[in-house]
Structures are given as C-alpha cells and as structure tokens.
Structure 1
Amino acid sequence: MRTIDQIKESIAADFMNNEAVADLFGFPAGDNFAAHFSKVSVVNLLFYVFASAAWVVERLFETHRAEIEARIGEIIPHRAKWYKSKVLEFMQDRTLMPDTDRYDTSGMTQEEVDAARVVKYVTADENRNASLLTVKVAGEKDGVRCCLDPEVEMQLAAYLAEIKDAGVRINLVNREADTFNCSIDIYYNPMLLPENVRRDCEAAIRSYIANLPFNGEYTNMALIDALQAVEGVRIAEFRQATASASGMTAVTAIDARHVPAAGYFRAGQITLTMKAHEQV
C-alpha cells in the first residue's frame, strides 16, 4: 500500500506534467516540483491534504478487502493444499489458541518453532469417488525420512480433527518406508574393475530412490537413466523391480511405475549382475 509521500509525489508529478498548469505558473512542463514550490507553499500543503485523504481511503479499502478475504476463508471449504500447509505447521506437544487453527508462538525462538514442527514431508490428495482426503506424512532423522512416533501421530490426528472443515473425512497415513528391491544386468567397460562399477551403480540406485519427491512416482525408465550416467556402464538391462509396504506380506511387481504407499522408499535387496561388454 502506498504511503502519503508516494501519493503526494504522484499528484505533484501529474501537476507538473500538465501543460496548461505549466503555462499558468510559468515553468517548463515536466519540471521538478520542489524547484518551484516550497514546503510551506499553498500548492504543496493542498497536495499533502489531498494525499492524506487518499491514503485514508486506501487504508479503508485495504482493511475492507482483508476482512472480506477472511470471511470468505471461513465460509468456503478449504482445498487440499491448505491441509498440506496446515500439517506442516503442526507443533508437537502444543495446543492451539482457543477457537483458532493457529499456535501462539510469541514466546518461542525460531529454533524452538522449527524443532516443534516435526512433520517435514506431507501430501494431501482427495479421492473424489470416496469423498476421502488422504494425508501422507513423514518426519526426518539425520537427514533421512522416517515414520512419526505413535504419540506424535495421535497428536497430529487430534490436530487435524480440530482444524478440518465439517464433513471432511481424513485418512492419515504415517508408515515406515516401502521396501524397494531390484534386479539389473550391468554391461560394463572391461577396462574398469567390475567391483568399482558395481559400487557406483548401487550408489546411483540408492540415491535415486532416496531423492524421489515425497509421494513421488518411481519409474523403471528413470532408474535406468540414472544407471546410464554412471561411468563405465555401457548397457543397463532391467530385469525386475518390486515394492512391499511396511507391515504387509504382499510384494508388488513394479510395471513401469509405482507410488509408495508410505510416500517414500528404502532400498532393500539390490541385485546387480556384472557382465563385461566386449566389442563385437
């Protein structure tokens, strides 16, 4: 929002650019206002009064706009991304201010706020057919994604029940990482040691799996692309990949792509068959 001085400068600029006014006062059109009118001149004081009145009107409209937006926010049901942002604001072992969806952080340092916000990863997706909002979450320990502790999950569930819109059903997903296994044939440059190429290939696989976006889609093609970038790999021939959700005995064969049930993977058994690539 503009200040009084900014409004006054805009009025003065229009005044100085008006050719009829310039002829009347005897100055070149577009000249500097301060070069012809002092701070105590009648014109300068009138401009200040006009600018002050305009500033008050702009403030009133700004306040009115903020009140209308707040009212609309209270009436219209929130979208999925609102739930995502609110889950990231969840704070462990703290309560909301009465009749609000906000915490009182006035007596906390930024470090304390960051430590209390234990949810580091979250997605919120609506299943329109089932009228269900699925919220997947994860924390972080030593830079690695992890499941939230059970007591924290209970607090988060209570927090969501408090802030959610009436009638919204929420499926909170807080699970250990899905296990990813794969089997790949690596045709390597025989001028290099197969042990070194194997080590770099396994590191590339683990890096790809660990750095997928939270609840992001894994693809066999992208994994092969990551292996093709490893020095010494001439051909990476995909055999199979599987995923198993934590606590489940079923193993899912990955056909082209897969989204982990927990929102993230951990690398399990990586089987690399090293084959020297001989020139034909």
Structure 2
Amino acid sequence: MARISTYIQYISLPHDNLKLVLEIWYDPQLLWQDGSRKDGTDNTPVITAINEFLYTLEFNGELILTKLIDYLQNVEGVKIPKLRQAYSKYGSFDYQVIDETYIARAGYMRLDLDTTQINYLPREL
C-alpha cells in the first residue's frame, strides 16, 4: 500500500513598505518642532506609535488608516494627526495609493522612514 503525502512549501517574503505623508499639530509644551518629546523620553513618539500600531496588526491583517489615525490621537502631545497620503509598496514595484484599507502581500508591513514625511505644526490653544 502506497503512502499519500502532501508537499508543503513555506515561503517567507520581505515586508511591504508603508509610506505616509502626515501633518501633526502638536502641543508645544510637550513636543519640540521636530516631534521629539521635551522631557527627553522619546525622540520620535509619532514614529514609535506608528510602528507599535503596525506591530499590533495580525499577520495578513488589514491595515485600516482611520484606526491608525485614532491610534496617533492617543500619543501624548499630539493634538491633531492628519493623514494627507498613504502608499504601499511590495518588492521592487512602485508605490500604490492606499485609499483606506490594505492587506500586505507579504503578510506584514514596515514604515519606510526614507520616504515618509511628517510635518509638525504647533497648536497653541
């Protein structure tokens, strides 16, 4: 009697890139104009929060941009986070616009620090 077997091939793909264009209105009592905390506890609190948010997504989970903005609203010192544009990129393909949701081809994403633009604007109310 012959054995029937199943061949399984595991493939690990490089991460998808996430490029963001953000405007962050910040509290000038808590953050410097470059977005770092004045108390010195975090030099990049907005980037840290974005990375934390991406880490919380399940493998093959859906990125929902509204939820990302909700997450950024909880960063101490951030008054108004505004997403201007969002893009995804897999491998050597060009960046593609993300309208609201995206599921990474590789199953996970990383923030592309070389192309992401964050403009910090003081909010003095």
> Does TM, scored on the shorter chain, surpass 0.5?
yes
User: TM tier, shorter chain?
Assistant: 0.7 to 0.9
* Secondary structure of 1:174 counterpart: coil
Establish whether residue 262 from structure 1 lines up as the match of residue 106 from structure 2: yes
Q: 1:100 deviation in Å?
A: 6.2
Establish whether residue 187 from structure 1 lines up as the match of residue 25 from structure 2: yes
TM-score (normalizing by structure 1)? 0.38
Q: Which runs of 5+ in 1 are unaligned?
A: 1-97, 102-157, 162-171
Kindly provide the amino acid, as one letter, of the partner of residue 36 in structure 2.
N
* Secondary structure of 2:66 counterpart: helix
Q: Percent identical across equivalent pairs?
A: 30
Larger radius of gyration: 1
Count, aligned residues = 115
Q: Which runs of 5+ in 2 are unaligned?
A: 38-42
Alpha-carbon RMSD across the aligned residues, in angstroms, is 2.2
TM-score (normalizing by structure 2)? 0.81
Q: Contact 2:49 / 2:75 at 8 angstroms: preserved in 1?
A: yes
* Secondary structure of 1:222 counterpart: helix
Establish whether residue 215 from structure 1 lines up as the match of residue 63 from structure 2: no
Alignment partner, residue 48 of structure 2: 203
2: CA distance, partners of 1:199 / 1:256: 25
Alignment partner, residue 99 of structure 1: 3
Higher relative contact order, structure no. (Cα contacts within 8 Å, ≥ 6 residues apart): 2
2: CA distance, partners of 1:250 / 1:193: 34
| Structure with a larger share of its residues in helix | 1
Establish whether residue 160 from structure 1 lines up as the match of residue 8 from structure 2: yes
2: CA distance, partners of 1:222 / 1:173: 29
Q: Contact 2:14 / 2:106 at 8 angstroms: preserved in 1?
A: yes
Kindly provide the amino acid, as one letter, of the partner of residue 278 in structure 1.
E
Q: Contact 2:27 / 2:78 at 8 angstroms: preserved in 1?
A: yes
Q: Which of 112, 122, 125 is the aligned partner of 1:276?
A: 122
| Structure with a larger share of its residues in strand | 2
Q: Superposed, which structure 2 residues align to 1:68-217 within 5 Å?
A: 99=3, 159-160=7-8, 174-194=12-32, 195-197=35-37, 199-217=44-62
